[in-house]
Amino acid sequence: QGYFSWPIRFRDALIAKNITVALLLIPQIMLIALVGKAAHLPSSFGKFIEAIVVMLIAALYWFSVGNIFSVRMPRAMDPEKMNQMANKMQALSIWTAPFLLLPIGLAYWARAVFANEIVFSGALLIAAIVGGIFYRVGLDSAEDSAVRTRESMLMQLSRSDGPLSTT
């Protein structure tokens, strides 16, 4: 609900939310790398950088879908029902991930087939470009939908026991 009352554009709020999540993902990869190092798992600085790059490219796809879902299917935050919604979204994520992340999968497939890092890097660059286009289109769609359905969204979001509730 705050997105509609803050003195910034709705689009900027979505972008800021996405950047914040991306910046929280990087320390998670760093922690995983440290645990792997402590467990003496084979790793290298190159693989660490690759993991960060692939994660950021994948985030473009997931952010786009998340932005669209957040405005097309708004749900009020209800602490008692958080697990119910999380389970539904996890199931949706499991079924859509192979299609959503296909460009990244194709980059790894290209690496395996051609055994060439340049081919892999090129395919990953294409996946990044497609991800950027997908993010831009998803952001435009989410913004347009939010503007068009503002009143309906606010009604949906006010159906909770929170401080801005109308029930």
Question: Tens digit of pLDDT for each residue in 35-50?
Answer: 999 999 888 889 889 9
128 pLDDT more than 60: yes
Please give the model's pTM, rounded to 2 decimal places: 0.78
Give the model's confidence band at 22: pLDDT under 50 very low, under 70 low, under 90 confident, else very high.
very high
| C-alpha span between 64 and 70 (Å, rounded) | 10
pLDDT interval class at 76 (50, 70, 90): low
Q: Which residues contact 6 (CB under 8 A, 6 or more apart)?
A: 13
* pLDDT value at residue 161: 55
Comparing CA positions, the residue from 11, 13, 20 lying closest to residue 145 is: 11
